[in-house]
Every structure is written in structure tokens, then in C-alpha cells.
Structure 1
Amino acid sequence: MGVSLELKSNTDQSENEKSKKCEDKEKCETYGLGFRHVQVLLIFLCLTIAYAQRVNMSVAIVAITDRNNTNPDFPEYIWDEGQKAMILSSFFWGYVVTQIPGGQLAKRVGGKIMLLFAISLCSLLNLLTPLFASFGFQAIVGLRVVQGLCQGCIFPSTHTLLAKWAPPSERGTIGTYCYSGAQFGTVVMLAISGVLASSAMGWPSIFYISGVAGIVWSIIWMFYGSSSPADSRDKISVEERHFIESSLSEHTTGDARVVETPWKQIFTSPAVISLVIAHSAHNWGFWTLLTEIPSYMKSILHFNIKQNALLSALPYFVMMCISFLLSPFADWLTNRRILKVEFSRKLFNTIGLWLPAAALIGLSYVTSEEQSSLAVTLVTLAVGINAATYLGFQINHIDLSPNHSGTLMGITNMSANIMSIIAPLLVGEIVSNPDDPVQWRIIFYIAAAVYFFGNLQFIIFGKANTQPWNDTEAHRKRNDNLEGAENPAVEY
């Protein structure tokens, strides 16, 4: 017993001595590679798998309904354009429902549990997709709705995790690296789907591979994922933990779970309303392109499914590369005080929405396969430069309220993904003849207009400072007292 108490005393003394390093502000501004980067990698892989499972239907539906361009040994199902549009949008019917509950649950039970639940169940449903297809398109619609319900928890949970793991000085970089997993998953799935559909395994392998990948990730996440530095005492170093917690303490409570959600202030906040509109505008254009590029390339540019899949993936590969280049640059600009955070958010959001809007207008006048190179260039620009929004509205939730960032993401993502439902359905209504370039022109013009006005209002009304309703004064004082009593050597 005496040895045990002595060891504990030495450990506490060691932790307090190490924590003193964080009393020097300059030493707290940076910290090398650590356990937070393990979390970044795992979240990156999580979003890779989530988006692979989300977009696999965009290419698979071409193979499922046309065996002539794929392995003819597998079933072909005849679905009209309206049914295809319903299948492509049905994921979002469920997706919007669990956004706000997902943010609230992530705050209460932790982002780790929510991500584990979402990916494991969604992966199981991916494995069952070929079976459900044999029951008719209504069965596929139902399955995709349930998958959407599962994945609705992912973005709010990710934001909840980032609010705990990403120091303000690294917020843009860490957030971008995590969310670039969405582009990586899109690239991989769009690139390999055509090859898989034409292989000996046929189109069902598109769903089997993404399902197995999700199961494997879930097992790894179970052992190495963590909701916060405080939950990782046996894995994270004392120095890194205090670096993260001390840099975040200015904007967060000791435990955000004890802070009640200020619903009225959130829903009446001009900054939040502006964020909702910006997020919705982004999703309209992004998902119009993501779900319809394969059909556009097949009908207007006459690419076969292998060419279609590879060229459909190219814009998202470019988007991922641009995000890796922009994020350290943006953090460098703000950390060196060259740009204020709010100006930086609006600048990069403008680059990410207005340049794609111009590219979409140009794309609307590409009307034949002779102009296929120009079309691919414009699509790549329209999607690729969209990466700048990860340094704009995408990370703005944590700027406004670290304590409620998951709930804010749930609110904005719910609203934004209503656009993800409407956009494919609108395409199904307007594009009655997929070979008519004029009908596609209308679609691209609408997306460009939504991009333009969505960003314009963000420039006018958007904010990047922590909002007063992030925390109550009573909670702040109570947590300060608790932290001072528990860790007298640490200045938070």
C-alpha cells in the first residue's frame, strides 16, 4: 500500500511538473505528432468508408440497370429515371432525421460510441444491398433510408470529436484532414466501381467491399478511438493532453455534457442562420454533381462505365489534393495574424463557392462528346476548388460554439441535406431526356445560382467569434473552480 501511494504521488507530481510547460503560452501554441493525430487518421478513414458507402450507388445504379456495359452474368433490374432519382435521393430521407439527435447523443455518450454504431450498422446494410435489390426498387429505397439514418450521426459526432481534439491553432488543418476522407472515399469508390462491376465479382462486389471495409474499421476504432483526451489517459502523453486542454479551455467548459443546449439562442442567431444557408447552398451544388455526373457523362459525353467511373472520380481526387494544400496555408495565415479568422473563413468560402459557380455556367454550354476534354476540366474545377469551403463554413460551427459544435453541425447538416433530397429529385423532373443538353443546362444554372447567393449572404452575415450562448457564466465559474481545485499547478 505504501509503495502504491508513493507511486501515485510521484505520478501526480510528474504530471504537475509537465503541465507547467503549458503556463508558457508560446510553448502551448504547438506540439508535435501525438495521439490526436491517431484520432485524425481514424476519423479520416471513417469518413472515407462512410462516403464510399454513400456514393457507391451513384455508379452501381448504372451497372445494375444496364448489364451490357458490365458483367452480364449478374441480374439486371429495369428502373425508370424517376425510380433511379428516388433511389439516389432516398439515402437523405433518413440522413436528415438523425442530424440533431446525433449531435445531442454525441455530446452525451461521446463521439466514439456514435461513430462505432453508425459505421458498423451501415456496413452490415451494405453487405445486404444485392439481396434487397432482388426484392425490387422499393426494398432498395427502404434500405438506403435506414443507411441514411445511421450515417446522419457521423458529421455531428465528428464535429463533437474535433471540438475535443483540435486545438484552435490547428483547427483548420485537422478539420480539413479529417473531412478530406469524404473526398478520398468518393475517389476510391467512383474509381473502382466500374472495374468491380465489369469483373468476375460483378456489381454486387461494389457493396461487399465497402461493407467489409466498414466492419474492419469498426473493430480498430473500438480499441483506438476516443471521445476526448481525458478518456485517453493510458494512451496520450501528459504533455499533449495539457497542450490540447489548455488551448481549448478558453472556449469550452470542463465537461460540455453539463451545459444545456440554448435552443432559442441558436435558432435566432444570425450567425447560425447564415451558416445554415451557406451549408445548404454548398450541398445543393455538391450533391447535384456527385449524384448526376455519372449519368451526365454517359448520356452527353458517351463515356462507357469504366471511363465514366474514373473520370467521375477525378474531380474528387483534385478536391482532396487542394484541401491538403490549402489547410496548412490557411492556418499559417491566421496564426501569424495575417488574416483575421472571420475574414479567412469568408475568403475561402468565396473561393469554394463562386469559382465553382462560374465553372458550372461554362459546363452548361458543353453539349457534345467532341468537347469532352473541356467538360472534364470544368467538372474538375467545379468540384475540386470546392475544397476551400472546408476552411470556410465547414469548420465555422466550432468557431461559433465549441461546446455545441455537434448540435450546430446537426442543425445545419439537416437543413443542408434537405437540399440533397430535393436536388436529385429536381434533376429527375427536369431531365426527362438525359440526351438533351439544354435540360442539363438548366440544372447547372440552378446550381450556380444557389452557390452564388448562398455565399453572398455568408459574406454579409457570417461570424467566426465564439457566441455568448456557447456557455453560461455560472457553468464557467463552476468549472474554473473545479479545475483549479483538481489541478492547482495548471493555468487553463
Structure 2
Amino acid sequence: MDRPPENGENPTSGGQPPFWKQRRNLVGLLAFLGFFNVYSLRVNLSVGIVAMTSSTETRASEFDWGPELRGAILSSFFYGYISTQLIGGLLGSKIGGVKLIGYGVLCTAILTILTPAAARYSVYLVIFLRVIEGVFEGVVYPGIHAVWSRWAPPTERTRLGGFAFSGSFVGTVIGYPMCGWLAENYGWPSTFYVPGFVAIIWCTVWLLSITESPTEDKHITKEELEYIVNSIGPIDERQISFSNYPWKDIFTSMPVWSITCAHFCENWGFYTLLTQLPSYMNDVLKFDIGKGSLLSALPYLVMSIILQVTGFFVDWIRKNEILSTTKVRKLCTCGAFVSQTVFMYSAANSTTPTQSIVCLTLAVGLGAFAWAGFSINPLDIAPQYASILLGISNTFATIPGIISPMLAGVIVKHKSAEEWQWVFLISSGIYLLGSVFYGIFASGKRQPWAEIKTEEKTGHDNKTFDMKP
């Protein structure tokens, strides 16, 4: 059974500092806040574009952008984002993820602050800026797995990784109503200025506080450092050279493609609602920007709460060997996808605003279980190449961000409930596809091409980085 190693220790044992003083938890907290900022920088346009193009009793719309043009603007970010996923994975495996993430978010924040001026000059300049923002933000997700490959003990991967990723959803939860409130009270430009400046502050703290590995951290205790190093085990020095990567094995591995397929399917539904939910609330449910933004955030609140519990629960199951890593990853991912299929289909056939909101909230919220499955899976099957695997999967998983807003713009011509029904039905079918593919091909075992021959290494030879078959 693929399970955590027998000689793994409780992270609170061995004279380590208390939970709240452990440096790896500080990394997790700041990574959480980093993803919070990353998603605040994404949802601001989803809310802002409604304020920019809608008229109210007190003001006229400033821009006359139709549904298809709005869809093109919302999807433009992902053209840049898709281009740097694999590059981010490669750079993360070579130089580490801390600086990669910090400078990537910093550049995105600066460009976000410039967006209002660009919008008043030319819509094409807005599209261009969003593409460049995507380029810089594209290195962030692969970069975090490079961080965890050096900082996260195997029995804490789901907890630390899940907690960091949940910042994305909390950022969405707070970002939607915050941007709606800013747009209503201070005008739509504030939806770009405030998240941009907050992100710059975070970048400063992150770059000054976090090191690429625990061995470089001047504030870590000897006990915690020893625990992390022994848990993670030997590091493959060959990864310094790109030519030594097992590219053929990676691209012909079905567990890798199962992660990629699951990531694509989860992101289809996620990005569809991330970019379109405020418009749906406005078009069909007839909510104003403030109320629509608040309700649009509800699914992500549920998702962020579930993900906190799921991370601890999954690591507890693995540590106590109740289920193998393969079974627990499949259970989380496939169970979530089947549930999302049901609730997205139900949302398409709902007849009242309350039914729509409940179904959409559950369809998104239950995706937390999937994130505790496929998103941490690269650290199971090839930890030293995890940033590259996430770069590959996120390259394909970015395609929905490009296609789904544009497809919604093509489908939703008259802002009718019948048109939005098709948007939700497509997402439902894609979730079902992901469940089947991941259930057949996924694995939680370290792959043969990712094994490290410890007898050839000098220094410590603890093998706890490997999941035993």
C-alpha cells in the first residue's frame, strides 16, 4: 500500500517549537495570503467590468462593451497565464519558488494599478495589460510546489498545500464583495487600485521573510530543521540540469495525465463561475452589483471552509494508514466531481433564485475535496518534479479560462435564463468526464522515473520522502 513511511514522526515531537512558532507554518500562512492577493487581482475585473458597462439610476455606464467583448476582456488574462506555466515549473525546480512567486505577484499588482488609465485610453490596451498580467501570474502556482518540495514534510503536504491554495478562495470570497462595495462607493477604478496596493505590501513581506529552503532560514530551530530535512529525504542533484529530466516518462505517464485532466475539468467549472457569476446574478437573478457580488462570493466561502477541514482530515487518514494515498486522492477528487456534476445540473434546471444560489454554492464549494486530491498529487508521484507537473497540468487547466468566458459570451446573447442553462450544463458534463478519467488512471505512488537512489548520495539518506508501495 502506498502510505507514509513508518519512521515518520509527529511534527510536534522531538523538541520542536509549538505549532504557531514553526517556520513551515509561517510559510503556509504567507502563501495563503499570497494566493488571497492573487485572486483579489483576478476577481476585481469580473466585478469592475459590470460597474464599467452597466447603468444605474444615479450614473450612466462609462463603456459600451457588449457581451462578446466583455468575454474577450475577461479571458485575455489567460492567454498570458497559459504561456508561463511550464516555464514557471522549470524555474521553480531550478531556482526555487519564493522569489519566483514574489516578483510574479509584484509585477501583476503594478499592472493592475495601471488598468483604469488604460481602459480610458483604449479597450485594446486593457486586453494587452491583462495578457501581460497573466504572464507574470502564471509562475505562481508552479512556484508554490517548488516551495513545498523543500518545506513540507510528506505527512503535512495536504494540510500545508491545501491551506495555501485556500487563500485563492478566501481572496475570491472577500474580493467579490469588497470590489462591489468599492465600485458602488468610490467608483470602479478603486476596484483596481486597492487590490493592487495591498498585493505590493504582501510581496514586500514575503520576499523579506521567506527563504527558498529551511536550511537558509536564520530563524528556524535546529529541531524543526532536522525534522523537515529528514522527512523530505535526499534531493536529486541532477535536477539542476534540464537535460536530465525524464521528459519522455513524464509526458507518457498516465498518473500525470490524470492530474492534468482533473485540473482541466475542475477549472472549467471554477473559471466559468469565477468570471461569469456576477453577470449571471445581474442578468437572471436581477441583483444589483453590491448584492450580486456578495452572493457571488458565497460559493468560495463554502469552498475555503471545507478545504481547511479536508487538509487535516486527508493527512490524518494517510498518517494512520486508514486508506492508501491512491485511494484517498481518488476518493476526494472523484467524489467531488460527481457531486459537482449533480449540483451544476441542478442549477441549470432550478426555478427560483434560492435554488440557483444553493446549487451553485454546493457545486463550487464541494470542489474543495478535489483540490485536496489532484492538486497535491504531484508531490506524491514525483516530489522533485512537482512544480513541473503542476506547470504542465495548469497549462492545460488554463484553457478553460480562455474558452469558457468567450463561450458564455457567445451563448448568452439575450441574457436569458435559458441561455445560462446551457452554460451550466456544459460544466456539469465536463465534471463527469474528469471523475471517470481520474478514477481510472490516478495514482498516489511515487513513480519509478522519480525514484532517487540514496546509496549514490552523500549525507543523510533518510527515505521518508518516498511513499512505500
| TM-score bracket for the superposition, by shorter chain length | over 0.9
Give 1:28 shift.
Answer: 5.5
Q: Contact 2:8–2:231 (CA<8 Å) still a contact in 1?
A: no
How does 1:74-473 map onto structure 2 within 5 Å?
A: 76-199=62-185, 201-232=186-217, 234-249=218-233, 252-253=235-236, 256-257=239-240, 260-367=244-351, 371-434=352-415, 436-471=416-451, 473=453
Give 1:68 shift.
Answer: 1.6
Instruction: Give aligned pairs, total.
Output: 454
| 2:375 counterpart SS class | helix
Give 1:182 shift.
Answer: 0.2
How does 1:52-71 map onto structure 2 within 5 Å?
A: 52-68=40-56
Aligned to 1:16: none
Give 1:351 shift.
Answer: 2.5
Aligned to 1:10: none
Q: Deviations over 1:202-246 (max 9, x none)?
A: 1111111111111101111121012111221x1111111111111
Q: Contact 2:35–2:168 (CA<8 Å) still a contact in 1?
A: yes
Q: Contact 1:127–1:211 (CA<8 Å) still a contact in 2?
A: yes
CA distance in 2, matches of 1:255, 1:47: 30
Q: Deviations over 1:386-414 (max 9, x none)?
A: 11112110101111111000010000000
Equivalent position amino acid for 2:160 in 1: I
Give 1:178 shift.
Answer: 0.5
CA distance in 2, matches of 1:348, 1:334: 13
TM-score if structure 1 supplies the norm length? 0.88
1:49 aligned onto 2:26 = no
CA distance in 1, matches of 2:313, 2:219: 30
| 1:464 counterpart SS class | coil
CA distance in 1, matches of 2:349, 2:379: 39
CA distance in 1, matches of 2:381, 2:229: 18
Equivalent position amino acid for 1:361 in 2: Y
Instruction: Give the gaps of 5 or more residues in structure 2.
Output: 1-5
CA distance in 2, matches of 1:347, 1:419: 24
Equivalent position amino acid for 1:455 in 2: S
Q: Contact 1:28–1:243 (CA<8 Å) still a contact in 2?
A: no
Give 1:95 shift.
Answer: 0.2
CA distance in 2, matches of 1:94, 1:209: 23
Aligned to 1:11: none
Q: Deviations over 1:21-66 (max 9, x none)?
A: xxx9364655542000110011101100001101211111000111
Q: Contact 2:236–2:452 (CA<8 Å) still a contact in 1?
A: no
CA distance in 2, matches of 1:272, 1:26: 26
CA distance in 1, matches of 2:428, 2:9: 45
Q: Contact 1:254–1:483 (CA<8 Å) still a contact in 2?
A: no
Q: Deviations over 1:451-490 (max 9, x none)?
A: 00111110011111111111454xx444x22447xx9xxx
Q: Contact 2:230–2:460 (CA<8 Å) still a contact in 1?
A: no
Q: Contact 1:193–1:206 (CA<8 Å) still a contact in 2?
A: yes
CA distance in 2, matches of 1:418, 1:395: 20
How does 1:28-39 map onto structure 2 within 5 Å?
A: 30-31=12-13, 32-33=18-19, 34-39=22-27
CA distance in 2, matches of 1:120, 1:49: 10
CA distance in 2, matches of 1:120, 1:329: 34
Equivalent position amino acid for 2:197 in 1: V
| 1:68 counterpart SS class | coil
CA distance in 2, matches of 1:92, 1:385: 24
Equivalent position amino acid for 2:314 in 1: A
CA distance in 1, matches of 2:368, 2:35: 15
RMSD over aligned Cα, in angstroms? 2.2
CA distance in 2, matches of 1:204, 1:237: 45
Give 1:155 shift.
Answer: 0.3
Give 1:162 shift.
Answer: 1.1
Aligned to 1:4: none
CA distance in 1, matches of 2:255, 2:204: 39
